[in-house]
Structure 1
């Protein structure tokens, strides 16, 4: 049964989501085309920079991302209430930065801000857009598509018409989706270790911890502002690394026994954690979470069942049996 996205993503309530946007026909429009040999890998940097820039303008925090050759993964938290607290000038300035006119300058943007200060209806619309996941993805995808089409001297779609979105209903779901995203290049056998992957959020977390001389910090967004799970930077790096060792049997090294301690805090066993990470896209559909979270979401949608519920029940049995 088809469910409208507005029932999964509540535009008025804060929530965390795993988002996937794919190139048309899954063509390698951000990598080396196996048919023509043309290399478009530089576009990954465009996407990465745009993600970070937009997170500083929208009421959205980016917790993980992976820019692959034919698709992009994101784990983001939207906070619509935050944009409702911004003053009029902040709303206008941010929106005009998201959607600038051709040949815009700081001076012309300031003029646009002053000209729209008294337009309450337009300000309300911009405020709503700045707290919207759909508008965030639109601003990301359209700018990249225009730049790529200009580079290729062509017209037409760059991305598939709709992005896929999964609601992450609890901390375990958020961390498993983040881990799934950060391990994308490793699972694709592009790299041998997570921190070696380019255009992936894990690389930046790893570098930040390596540079830092301060005590271990709580897990924070890569870009934007927002609350984090009850896990530290170092714990998360270990979690991703050891999960990668379990997923890739050819990866050298033993499994550190610190993994179960973190996983058990999330209410899962080691095998259940691995199952949830690997099943992010194959076992779940619109939502990811514990059985109780599934049932609550199904009741909210006035449904008796959601795809992935049976899998969540199996994971609960696996956790309880250990």
Structure 2
């Protein structure tokens, strides 16, 4: 039975969410279709450009992404602090970049409203837009609708492009966030689309390493776009929000994990255990189990048992799938 999005997303518990969308009708998002012989690799650039554009407009940061052949992964951070700091005029400017406005709001922006009732009505509309600009569902809607329309136009067809609604997974603590980010960044390595993380194009790990999403000269580096959500370990108090770890430690962990999960690369695994594993309190076997099966074995939310209980309470659930396995692995 389909669940309401309010039972899957609770910003009171966490601003971090892992989102996945998959294609239908044997459609290929960006891979090579063995039936038609067509290659849709260029659509990966569509995805990255749209994701970064939306991140600039919405108060939502991109922690990690991976664009695969027929699906994609995003790890998102909903930034309520950013949206609260925006003026009403800024909210309108952002909203108008994506959607048509409201006549009464347009009149308010021009200073043409005279009655208190009209002004109140305009401000109520702006308040709804403010809420939507930090809403993950609206972010995903703006992404998926745009790509579906563009792909259908290219394919000269109509109908569904995506497999129903996107799936979301709440990441309730640092262990869950870092594990999910690594799981997302390592998708091409696990699928044997790339040998090493530094060659995993159209992933956030590739962009963090090379400053761009791929080696294609036609790609844009998004210099003017909001950057990926940063790692801010050891930063001063004036540093913007970010992931509370060092980027170099995360890169070391992902590289070590990528070598470990490739069966044909086991001979070059470093004996040195990444420092970040000790910080997270995880042993190597537990980490590798999580990094390989995070998206398959855990649904809805991931975190400590206490955090899962609170999340269930706030979202009206009695139980969160995967609790038993998490308890055995992490506790």
Match of 2:200 among 193, 197, 202: 197
Whether the aligned pair in 2 keeps the contact of 1:26 and 1:71 (CA below 8 Å) is no
The residue that corresponds to 1:107 in the other structure is none
Gaps of 5+ in 1: 102-110, 210-216, 318-322
The residue that corresponds to 1:285 in the other structure is 299
Deviations 1:127-178 (A, max 9, x none): 1110100000011111111111222222222112200000001001000000
**Shift, 1:26, TM fit:** 5.3
Structure 1 residue ranges (4+ consecutive) displaced by more than 2 angstroms after TM superposition? 1-5, 10-14, 79-82, 98-101, 111-118, 225-230, 290-305
The residue that corresponds to 2:186 in the other structure is 183
Q: Describe how 1:128-167 pairs up with structure 2 within 5 A.
A: 128-167=131-170
Whether the aligned pair in 2 keeps the contact of 1:77 and 1:226 (CA below 8 Å) is no
**Shift, 1:7, TM fit:** 2.3
Count the aligned residue pairs. Answer: 297
Gaps of 5+ in 2: 114-118, 213-228, 233-238
TM-score (norm. length: structure 2): 0.82
The residue that corresponds to 1:297 in the other structure is 311
The residue that corresponds to 1:214 in the other structure is none
1:120 aligns with 2:107: no
Whether the aligned pair in 1 keeps the contact of 2:7 and 2:317 (CA below 8 Å) is no
Separation of aligned partners in 2, 1:257 and 1:84 = 44
SS of 1:282's equivalent in the other structure is helix
Separation of aligned partners in 2, 1:66 and 1:90 = 30
Separation of aligned partners in 1, 2:146 and 2:254 = 31
Separation of aligned partners in 2, 1:120 and 1:300 = 29
Whether the aligned pair in 2 keeps the contact of 1:93 and 1:113 (CA below 8 Å) is no
SS of 1:277's equivalent in the other structure is helix
CA RMSD of aligned residues (A): 2.7
TM-score (norm. length: structure 1): 0.84
**Shift, 1:248, TM fit:** 1.1
1:253 aligns with 2:268: yes
Separation of aligned partners in 2, 1:180 and 1:30 = 20
Whether the aligned pair in 2 keeps the contact of 1:44 and 1:67 (CA below 8 Å) is yes
Separation of aligned partners in 2, 1:26 and 1:86 = 42
Whether the aligned pair in 1 keeps the contact of 2:54 and 2:143 (CA below 8 Å) is yes
The residue that corresponds to 2:8 in the other structure is 8
